[in-house]
Amino acid sequence: MTRLALMIDLERCTGCKSCEVACKAEHALGPGERRNRVVWLGGTASEENQGRPPLDFLALACQHCERPACLRACPVEPKAITKDPQTGIVQVNEDLCVGCGECVTACPYGAMGYDAGGHHAVKCDLCVERRADGEPTTACASVCPTNAISFGERDALDRQAMAQDRRRIDNDPFLLGPATIYLDRTDPLRPALDARERTVPAVIDPGHAMAGDTTAYPYGVKRADRLADRIEPGGCNICFNSCTTKFHFHKGRLVKVTGNEEDPVLQGRVCPKSQLSLQLYSSTERLTQPLKRVGARGENAFEPISWDQALDEIGAKMAAIRAEHGPEALGLFSGTRTGTLTNRGYIRMFAKLWGTPNFVTTEPFCSSGKNLAYSMIQGYSGPGNTYTEGDMGSAALHVYWGDNQAETRPVHFGMINDWRLERGARMIAIDPRQTVTASKADWHLAIRPGGDMALGLAVAHHILSQDLHDQEFCDTWVLGWERWRDFIVEKGYTPDWAAPIADIAADDIRRLAEEIAAADGCILYGSRGINQHMNSTQSNRVLMFIAAVTGNWGRAGGAYFNMSASLPIDLNIPEERCAKISRPKLRTSPVGWTEAMLQDRPYPLRAVIANNNPMALWPDQTETRKAFAALDLLVHVDIFPNETSAWADYVLPAATGIEKGEVGRACEDRRIVWIDRMIDPPGQAKPDGWIWIELGKRFGFEDVLREEWKDSARFWDEALISNIQLRGVTQKRLHSTPYRWVRFPVETEQAPEIQTLYLEGTSAHGAPAGHRFPTTSGKLEFWTEALEAKFEPYGLSALPEFYGERESLVDMAYVELLDDDAVEGVIGPFASGGLAPRGRIVQPDETHPAANLRAQGYTLELLTGRPAAPHFHSWTHYAWQAQEMWPDLYAQIHPDTAAELGLADGARVTVETSHGSVEALAWIYPGIRRHAVFVPIGWGERQPFNPWRPVNFLTDKSQRDPISEQTNLKSLLCRVTPV
Amino acid sequence: MLTGRPASSNDTDLADSRLTAIVIAAVAAASAGLVLSPGLPEDLGRPGGPLLQSAAIIGSMLLVASFVAVLLKKIGHPGKAGFRAHVWLASVGAVLVIVHSTGSVAKIPSLLLLSLAGLVALGVWSRLAGSKRMARTFGSKLAGFSKPDEATRARLAELITHKKSLLSTIDSNALEAVFSLKPRHWITAPGTALTYHRAVMEEHRLIGTRASVSLAQAYWRPLHRLLAWGFVAGLLIHVITVTVFAGYVADGRAVYWWRIAEWGS
């Protein structure tokens, strides 16, 4: 007998639920119908857990018991449930099953599923049919981003567990002889898992009813009709992980999206979002024809029109606005949904031909601060390291500082976590919440929101004052480091100074600094937790400084790693065809456009073409919606209807991913993943490139926005890769591998890819010989006279003077913007040279705005951010399975706060700031700071399954970094009340 | 509502919408029968009259057939076809029996109507609502991942050994790991089968089988079975009483219905 089994590693599992998506796709399961599920297990903090509340993820499927309780409970003869004597696999025969549910009751693991639509039991059979079709492993194991699931002969798995000396969970309290092996967490001090002591959050998998007609393909389709007759390699275009995928087709229909096991880096790992794109491509909610508004704005009343009529009318209205207000009166906004080729290519071309400087993306909400900081210091925006074993895998210390990578880029985290465990590297997480990333860390520092810059300065102070820095690297490769050192010491940014601001003990700050300095390779991961603050640029610079002075720059296994790597695209437009722009760009952040839309100040902005969903994305939705209501023309280009389309004059249906040909999002480690056009868009939907080229024809742009560039592959080769770093990333080279990616910079098709940039002894790509970094000096530049001069117009200095947030539970120094968005301010030397507000650092006193808000009862710290792995902005809210897993907007609240408010887990609450309010369901979670509340992004009022008001009703458009215009989305004062 | 589209099943399920339609039609038919029957000539409109007694006979036979259709799954007949037959036969049978009753609820036979209503209600609940609860059960039990209780484990070990020893009498080729009692075991070795059954019940209690789900989910089926057996037994009693002890049933009134004997007058 060769008993087969799964082995689940709780140290690796991050609860991303990729396995659930794979299972449902493999077996065409519908809503509520499960063969597996990842159960999130919370719990209360205890001494046994060193004061940290436990958070574990139990990947649950049939245990394939030696004495299966389900089989013995089955009343049918012959049994509808059988056990294979050779493999030990327990299977259900759905034809014999009468749906009585006795097996569901009998299984003490809760691992027997049930199809409430078809009235029969369903269960894991270790993918018998899939393996019979030649696949070597189960669907769940094949996709797991973290290698938490292994499938094989039980004896071999057993030996593997023993070889790793791993503690197992005793999952046989009832002598049923389960085959599944569970490896417990590795911390020997943690008590063994006892699920009875744990809690399951009410907001995850609550079992909401879901209408059958909204559950799109492949629910209920026979296996024979889902078997692929063609498989194409490509990639996911949703997030920065840029997962390589395979698209499976049956008679021309997309039937499955899986990872690409031929990819030497990702090796088939893929997150739930990539797989859920199948449901997006098949969704019945898609926009399929151009629409013209017939009712009032927001009424959502439209009539279908032809593309010609839509583009002719839009063109005529744009021309009229240009004639009356000038070309700058057109604003163009795009983002994730729009796609890289359009963001970086088609729209930028159109904007240059048209003559508007007012084209922005979502960057000021996500990453503009870090992009600017990288450019200032390194001369190029993005880290130079890669997710390879020899580079990031070789680090001795991983510090996640405001980066919840496990939930936001689960595949990359899975790789890091794997290498960490194999190498014995340490992991530290600095985050106001015990995120999934923090739950895996050896040490979690629950920092106060807005305290990162203070903590960073104190870490730097301790390293420098204790001579823990890398003197040789500093002297050789860092310009202006002594000036920074002297400034930090002079200002007294000590651990004792930072402790009350960051709410972290001074001794812990010292220990953190010493660990970073001592590690033979430390990667500081920063992300939105660092970026989304009013001190975004300076906080990023401080963390970059820490990495640099400890020699963690330009080496394998050492870095400041704040994703992602910007694509260096130079547009191929003849200079003489660029229209003259006579007015500077309005604010770099589109939320700074609202006065131009409402009051025509500093100059009018009368038309906006929105290529994603500003009515959920833009901070301060109250003001945003007033501004959009005042426009003369709002055109919305999207794949799904949402709040923005409800307010638009015209709605244009767009294509996505394999419907149009695309590259993945700007990947973290410089991989450019190409996605071929493989299917037609639904109905009359068109690729974004097609739309911009056709619109351009209305204005005579066809000599530049050429007809043949509707072919995205041609557009890539002919228009986008003239930069020396991209010249080798041709279609030919992209198609030369079975995984369709090339890592830039590569100057020619033959040039080898570079694992780690800026290594000692190398010159930066395109820089003069000896210039290790692509700055003017060839060194990392922390302070130069030129840089200081650039800061001066803002009223700030290139030296890192501390300021935090305006809204906090402690009164921090904050930056006051001296120019509101109705006035011009100054022409900023950074951020595309647009109009920018001047700033002034205000030291805390009794008139601090935070004190005023606290007096009004706003006594909780609100932070916003990404929800769990299956969601990404609004995309996945149209995928029924993502909605089944995480349907409702939630507010994570500490149990003590909840007790004060009399809240139960799952209760409906109102979260209110001085800027607005939303309702959400309470998720009572001891892993969040005592006075913090976390509300995730992505929900909207017009989403088809579980509509909720977007979190940006709580945020404030005026709290922006004056340098990068990054909005503070991480530290606002709020209050919570039960509904 | 979910649509019944099991991807891997080749047999046709009775969809919720179809079941709902059948039940609504049955209720409508029964109601119409009850409303119209008083309008019939006295001979025909009485429960024991030739028309309604014939309805009762046919209805009872259909209900017994419905009962048997479910039992067939125990002896190797396909479950889904049996279930469809169970629903159709029970629905038509119930209509006829209800019409036969003429809505009289003051007498002892109305207990049969009550149990019939209970059976229908439980059956419909299990398909329309219970099935969703069953689906939601996945991942809701964590007992299997809890710290084992050694006393429980020791007692379970004893029970397993005990069951294995009993199997030598019940079915010497059977493996305890996958064995459950079948009707023939109750016939060939009733005493040992009962002992075995009691061991199984104790095992369930130790594991917390029925306590691991809601009361309704745990007990709808035992209750449905109990009511079904009770109904069949009651039906048998009623048939025997009215046909053999017709005099007793008439209690001094005229015996106007077809009968075998008038004992008990």
User: Pick from A31, A110, A120: which is nearest to B140 by CB?
Assistant: A110
Same domain, A57 and A178: yes
Amino acid A801: pLDDT: 97
Same domain, B243 and B193: no
Chain A contacts of B5, Cβ < 8 Å? 30, 117-118, 219-220
Contacts of B223 (CB under 8 A, 6+ apart): B118, B122
Same domain, B220 and B124: yes
Mean local confidence (pLDDT), A433-449:
97
Same domain, A692 and A554: no
Query: Which H helix or E strand runs over A369?
Result: helix A368-378
Same domain, A523 and A574: no
Mean local confidence (pLDDT), A656-663:
96
Among candidates A921, A920, A913, which has minimal Cα distance to A953? A913
Amino acid B2: pLDDT: 32
Amino acid A59: pLDDT: 98
**Helix or strand or coil: residue A218?**
coil
Give the integer Cα–Cα distance in Å for B3 and A973: 46
Query: Residue B22: which domain range?
Result: 16-135+215-250
Question: Which residue from B minimizes the CA distance to A106?
Answer: B209
Same domain, B233 and B103: yes
Q: For chain A, give the mean pLDDT.
A: 95
Query: Which H helix or E strand runs over A228?
Result: none
Amino acid A666: pLDDT: 74
Mean local confidence (pLDDT), B88-102:
95
Same domain, B26 and B100: yes
- The answer to whether the Cβ–Cβ distance between B7 and A74 falls below 8 Å is no
Query: Residue A620: which domain range?
Result: 291-366+569-661+685-724
Confidence of residue B42 (pLDDT cuts 50, 70, 90): confident
Amino acid A161: pLDDT: 95
- The answer to whether the Cβ–Cβ distance between B6 and A194 falls below 8 Å is no
pLDDT above 60 for A172: yes
- The answer to whether the Cβ–Cβ distance between A83 and B178 falls below 8 Å is yes
- The answer to whether the Cβ–Cβ distance between A68 and B177 falls below 8 Å is yes
CA distance B115 to chain A (A): 20
CATH number for the domain harbouring residue A923: 2.40.40.20
Same domain, B55 and B120: yes
Same domain, B206 and B233: no
User: Pick from A29, A69, A195: which is nearest to B142 by CB?
Assistant: A195
CA distance A176 to chain B (A): 8
pLDDT above 80 for A831: no
Is residue B261 included in any domain, yes or no?
Answer: no
Same domain, A296 and A325: yes
Is residue B197 included in any domain, yes or no?
Answer: yes
Is residue A318 included in any domain, yes or no?
Answer: yes
Same domain, B24 and B123: yes
pLDDT above 90 for A216: no
Amino acid A190: pLDDT: 86
CATH number for the domain harbouring residue A595: 3.40.50.740
- The DSSP bridge partners found for residue A525 are A400, A561
User: Pick from B2, B153, B210: which is nearest to A31 by CB?
Assistant: B2
- The ipTM is 0.93
Q: Chain B interface, mutation test: which of A41, A115, A180, A184, most B Cβ atoms within 10 Å?
A: A115
pLDDT above 50 for B3: no
Question: Which residue from A minimizes the CA distance to B17?
Answer: A117
Last residue within a domain, chosen from A143, A177, A200: A200
Same domain, A108 and A192: yes
Is residue B142 included in any domain, yes or no?
Answer: no
Is residue B86 included in any domain, yes or no?
Answer: yes
Same domain, B189 and B232: no
Confidence of residue A815 (pLDDT cuts 50, 70, 90): very high
Question: Which residue from B minimizes the CA distance to A27?
Answer: B7
Is residue A270 included in any domain, yes or no?
Answer: no
Last residue within a domain, chosen from A563, A578, A613: A563
Amino acid A213: pLDDT: 62
In terms of pLDDT, which residue wins out, A233 or A211?
A: A233
Say how many domains are in chain A: 4
Same domain, A396 and A417: yes
Contacts of A563 (CB under 8 A, 6+ apart): A240, A382, A383, A409, A527, A668
pLDDT tens track for A798-814: 999 999 999 999 999 99
Q: For chain B, give the mean pLDDT.
A: 91
Amino acid B10: pLDDT: 57
Amino acid B78: pLDDT: 66
Same domain, A192 and A308: no
Same domain, B61 and B186: no
Confidence of residue B261 (pLDDT cuts 50, 70, 90): very high
pLDDT tens track for A57-105: 999 999 999 999 999 999 988 899 999 999 999 999 988 898 999 999 9
Same domain, A494 and A606: no
Chain B contacts of A77, Cβ < 8 Å? 73-76, 182
Is residue A192 included in any domain, yes or no?
Answer: yes
- A721: its two tokens: 């890769």
Report the helix count and the strand count for chain A, using DSSP H and E. 33, 39
- The answer to whether the Cβ–Cβ distance between A116 and B135 falls below 8 Å is yes
- A826: its two tokens: 């100054």
Same domain, B172 and B232: no
Chain B contacts of A120, Cβ < 8 Å? 6, 9, 13
Question: Which residue from B minimizes the CA distance to A115?
Answer: B135
pLDDT above 50 for B5: no
pLDDT above 70 for A832: no
Question: Which residue from B minimizes the CA distance to A184?
Answer: B145
Is residue B230 included in any domain, yes or no?
Answer: yes
Give the integer Cα–Cα distance in Å for A756 and A964: 27
Confidence of residue B125 (pLDDT cuts 50, 70, 90): very high
In terms of pLDDT, which residue wins out, A403 or A51?
A: A403
- A513: its two tokens: 């600094």
Give the integer Cα–Cα distance in Å for B112 and A880: 46
Question: How many pairs of residues across A and B have Cβ atoms under 8 Å apart?
Answer: 234
Same domain, A454 and A348: no
Confidence of residue B83 (pLDDT cuts 50, 70, 90): confident
Same domain, A558 and A578: no
- The answer to whether the Cβ–Cβ distance between B177 and A66 falls below 8 Å is yes
Is residue B43 included in any domain, yes or no?
Answer: yes
Is residue A473 included in any domain, yes or no?
Answer: yes
Is residue B260 included in any domain, yes or no?
Answer: no
CA distance A500 to chain B (A): 41
Same domain, A555 and A619: no
Say how many domains are in chain B: 2
Last residue within a domain, chosen from A156, A181, A200: A200
**In A251-369, beta strands by DSSP E:** 253-259, 291-293, 302-304, 330-333, 359-360
pLDDT above 60 for A900: yes
Same domain, B21 and B109: yes
Percent of chain B with pLDDT over 70: 95
Same domain, B97 and B220: yes
Chain B contacts of A217, Cβ < 8 Å? none
Distance of CA A130 to the CA centre of its chain: 31
> Each residue of A279-313: b (16+ CB within 10 Å) or e?
bbbbbebbbebbbbbeeebeebebeebebeebbeb
Among candidates A61, A30, A315, A313, which has minimal Cα distance to B13? A30
Contacts of A450 (CB under 8 A, 6+ apart): A533, A804, A805, A808, A812, A968, A970, A971
Same domain, A585 and A717: yes
Is residue B163 included in any domain, yes or no?
Answer: yes
Q: Of A403-407, A609-613, B37-41, which range is least confident?
A: B37-41
pLDDT above 90 for B138: yes
Is residue A471 included in any domain, yes or no?
Answer: yes
Q: Of A61-75, A126-140, A662-676, A693-707, which range is least confident?
A: A662-676
